[in-house]
Amino acid sequence: MSNTAIVTGGTRGIGAAISIALKEKGYDVAATYAGNSQKAEEFTNQTSIKTFKWDVSDPEACVAGVQAVEAELGAVEVLVNNAGITRDGWFHKMDYEQWSQVIRTNLDSMFTMSRPVVESMRARGSGRIINISSINGQKGQIGQTNYSAAKAGVIGFTKALAQENARKGITVNCICPGYINTDMVAAVPEKVLESIIGQIPVGRLGKAEEIASLVTYLASKEAAFMTGAVMTMNGAQYIANG
């Protein structure tokens, strides 16, 4: 059976940690990226993980991208929908482009990336789809109406797709990371970030590797009965029940 995994946004931040963790578990990993070719090249040099460039919000690019990965590495067994962006700002100051870019990249990508892989997973009777949502899709966040809406949508998408594919050997799960030590979180204004860390009972930011280890569990054969689950990993900043 193919051991191919696609990790979108897989060359930086949480995605890079996921790509590395899956490679260490023996997967043939394809890490996608949208823009930063230099970072992607450095990532391949350091890890020997193959990178592929396409925009996850572009449906045709995703179909072509999945075909390119399958031609090189074989059928996709694991899809990690991790790519995401922020365009933070108060809603009363937000323009449509700020809204739309986040919805397209963070939510439309659930369709554009899952659709090209799910039919062959159903035909083979096996597959894993792991979606990265966010604490802010669960609780909302000042400055993130766009991001919170998209990430809440990821949760609903996960639950519905899990039910549709449960009898086909495919699991679909969702992880809601809290504030993790990545470039995305480092971009939060310092004073705001200080106050956010003060709200995390564990008293620190999370590590990308902590999220990655949960992804490798969900990708494993042992996780076959876990599907439609929404898992929080946020240092007890927000205790959600789904």
147 counts as catalytic: yes
Structure tokens at 75: 């059928």
From the list 84-92, 122-130, 153-161, 224-232, the region that binds ligand CAA by CB under 6 A is 84-92
- Told to check if 105 binds ligand CAA by CB under 6 A, we report no
- Told to check if 134 binds ligand CAA by CB under 6 A, we report yes
Q: Measured over all CA atoms, what is the biggest interatomic distance in the chain, rounded to whole angstroms? A: 51
Closer to ligand CAA by CB, 47 or 141: give it.
141
Q: From the candidates 147, 179, 217, 238, which is the catalytic residue?
A: 147
Start-to-end CA distance of the chain, whole Å, equals: 33
- Told to check if 140 binds ligand CAA by CB under 6 A, we report no
Residue number closest to ligand CAA, CB atom: 143
- Told to check if 242 binds ligand CAA by CB under 6 A, we report no
- Told to check if 90 binds ligand CAA by CB under 6 A, we report yes
> Minimum CB separation from ligand CAA for residue 52, in Å?
24
> Minimum CB separation from ligand CAA for residue 178, in Å?
6
From the list 39-47, 49-57, 122-130, 180-188, the region that binds ligand CAA by CB under 6 A is 180-188
Closer to ligand CAA by CB, 61 or 184: give it.
184
- Told to check if 142 binds ligand CAA by CB under 6 A, we report yes
- Told to check if 103 binds ligand CAA by CB under 6 A, we report no
Is-contact 31 7, C-beta < 8 A?
A: yes
- Told to check if 237 binds ligand CAA by CB under 6 A, we report no
Structure tokens at 60: 């045709």
Structure tokens at 166: 């449960």
Between CA 185 and CA 168, with CA 129 as vertex, the angle to 5 degrees is: 165
Is-contact 76 70, C-beta < 8 A?
A: yes
- Told to check if 226 binds ligand CAA by CB under 6 A, we report no
> Minimum CB separation from ligand CAA for residue 199, in Å?
9
Cβ neighbourhood burial of 241 (10 Å; 0-12, 13-18, 19+): exposed
Binder to ligand CAA among 86, 146, 171, 227 (CB under 6 A)? 86
- Told to check if 186 binds ligand CAA by CB under 6 A, we report no
Structure tokens at 230: 């929404």
Active-site residues, by number, are 147
Residue ranges binding ligand CAA (CB under 6 A):
86, 88-90, 134-136, 141-144, 147, 179, 184-185, 188-189, 192
